[in-house]
Copies of this chain bind each other. A is one copy, B any other.
Amino acid sequence: MADAIRALAIDAVEKAKSGHPGMPMGMADAATALYTRFLKYDAADPRWPDRDRFVLSAGHGSMLLYALLHLTGYAGMTIEDLKHFRAIGSPAAGHPEYGHHPAIETTTGPLGQGLATAVGMAIAERHLAARFGKSLVDHRTWVICSDGDLMEGISHEAASLAGHLKLNKLTVLYDDNHISIDGSTALAYTEDRLKRFQAYGWAVKQVNGHDPAELAAAMSYAIRSPRPTLIACRTIIGFAAPTKAGTAAVHGAALGPDESAGAKQAMGWNYGPFEVPEGIKEKWEAAGRKGQGARRSWLKRLANHPQKDEFERAISGKLPEAWHERLAGWRQQIAAEQPKIATRVASQKALEALVPSIPELIGGSADLTGSVNTLVKGMPSIGPGEFGGRYIHYGVREHGMAAAMNGMALHGGIIPYGGTFLIFSDYCKPAIRLSALMHQRVVYVMTHDSIGLGEDGPTHQPIEQLAGLRATPNLHVYRPSGAMETAECWELAIKRADGPSLLSLTRQNLSETRTDAGENRCARGGYVLEEASGERRATLVATGSEVTIAQTARKMLEEAGIPTALVSLPCFELFAAQDASYREQVLGSALRVGVEAAIRFGWDQWIGPDGIFIGMTGFGASGPLDKIYAHFGITAEAIAAAVRKRLG
């Protein structure tokens, strides 16, 4: 049966003339043991909520997964699809892409991400089991990973967190093949992997990755283990290839006709390309049906479960009916009381309204809880063996946090949010990108979002981060100007079921910019906050903490007889999605002035190359808040002076 995987991997890579045959050929035995004996799944229902999750962290070996899906009888992965491996529009893309096939649990390829995402899935399972009981939620998470995955820093963050939390239902099959792209792992990677994972609190096993009995024994052990388990499968990359097996040559290129033929001969595989003999296909399809009984009895349990409706709602991602009522109350309160608070605190207030209303919200922070204001009352911690809580202390592991949030969102039943400083979005960008690529509802709470954080200086002051994030497709970046906009942005982030949102929030207190609590004005991305008193001669366009600075500048200009409008632009992406006439009306045809304590890069789309920009031109500096804005010339006086100068 394993040879069927190998043969399909050889043929598909050969036909595509590109791809990675080595890993599928090496891990075919381990995957066969998993899919025939241990993985709980039913090929007839790939989205069955209580299925085991399987993550191919070494995503370059995608043909392993596609072969398995085809052989076990999943719809939508036909032999024709395999013949179109790596072609545009094929479900069998170069790397496994979430959304291309319902049984692809996550997008993998950037190394380490799959493993770290799986940690999130395993947390989600434990939490939902605590919430709904074992009769509805009781499944495992399985990962296949490579040397590359384990070399990446994110693997450390994820594995250390998983060990800490004692995620016993997580098992990693490590393809220990001693080969990486540059050659032998001895060139660069000689750490003791088993000892390292033991240090993380994992159970570990070492097996011959081509011995089904050893593999099965290790998987049985993993299932009984009270800790996450790493099974190092000693394999030969490109197993069966006559001359290239065990070398880097078989990692990332087609074998070529001779080597392919030799491999098939070595396996005793006497069939044409893409041909799987009936007997072997039948065995595989029987394996694909093995979980039917488990699924049927689960469906029965669900039908009789008192929380049936709530479970189905949660898993579907539908919000509870009254989810925004408390938030509406908080918005009324803002309008009435005009609090002068930092937007990070306003975010906490919004969360105080949302968390009790939406049980799916699971918060956390990368060891900055008190600074990023992500914890609210009624959120006990999730800790080792204790998964009923709703708050995760991720430790100083920004990247691991972001990937775990992806895993929770992908698992379903959870809406994760997590906080760190905006500067550290750099540390988790690869996982943020995957949230966007996979259209997952993950909310990033990123505070201390400018030089306004003060004394911590240039290493902590974001300058180019907003530009880099706004450039990321499908990510909504919000930079609210006060408590009201923060509440509105949170509302939009929660409502957005098909993509991630990032809130850029201040450390410093701000005067409230809004008195109205009706329409969610942030929904259009940008709007006229204050219209000019006469025909506009200038339009100030600002975001976040700079809106109140621009407000003062507007007042100065108005007093100087220059009718000036003020536009708040909390979300570039939503504003760009409005029709051109709305945008023109908001931005106007008078002199446009952008104001943001960040780099100009990206602003010319709103203000044009001839517009004035008041912001940063380089890195920040260490100094107190009251001095730092003046030091960099981001003041109401500077704005007003620049406008007066330009208007002559």
Contacts and interface: CB of A to CB of B under 8 A. Distances in A.
A310 interface: no
B153 A157 contact: yes
Interface string A163-176: 11000000000000
Contact of A188 (B367, B459, B622): B367
Contact of A148 (B393, B396, B434, B616): B396
Nearest to A200: B191
Interface string A52-66: 000000011000000
B90 A622 contact: yes
A21 B164 CA distance: 29
A363 interface: no
A464 interface: yes
A328 interface: no
A381 B468 CA distance: 35
Chain copies in complex:
2
B93 A622 contact: yes
Nearest to A610: B608
Contact of A396 (B151, B394, B471): B151
A244 interface: no
Nearest to A88: B623
A107 B456 CA distance: 12
B153 A153 contact: yes
A95 to B, nearest CB: 5
A611 to B, nearest CB: 10
| Chain B CB within 10 A, most for which of A95, A153, A434, A606 | A153
Contact of A367 (B181, B395, B434, B616): B181
Nearest to A628: B88
A619 B437 contact: yes
Contacts of A196: 196, 199-200
| Chain B CB within 10 A, most for which of A397, A458, A459, A473 | A459
A190 B165 CA distance: 9
B86 A623 contact: yes
Interface string A181-206: 11000011111110110111100000
7 residue pairs, one from A and one from B, having the closest CB atoms: A153-B153, A468-B468, A156-B156, A188-B395, A88-B623, A109-B459, A93-B622
Interface of A: 16, 18-19, 59-60, 86-90, 93-95, 97, 107-111, 147-148, 151-157, 160-161, 163-164, 180-182, 187-193, 195-196, 198-201, 365, 367-371, 381, 383-384, 393-397, 399-400, 423-424, 426-427, 429-430, 433-434, 436-437, 454-460, 463-464, 467-468, 470-474, 599-602, 604-606, 608-609, 616-619, 621-624, 627-628, 631
26 contacts: A16-B455, A60-B456, A93-B622, A95-B457, A95-B622, A110-B460, A151-B367, A152-B397, A153-B154, A153-B155, A153-B397, A163-B190, A180-B367, A180-B396, A187-B381, A188-B397, A195-B198, A426-B433, A429-B468, A436-B619, A437-B619, A463-B472, A468-B471, A471-B599, A474-B619, A602-B604
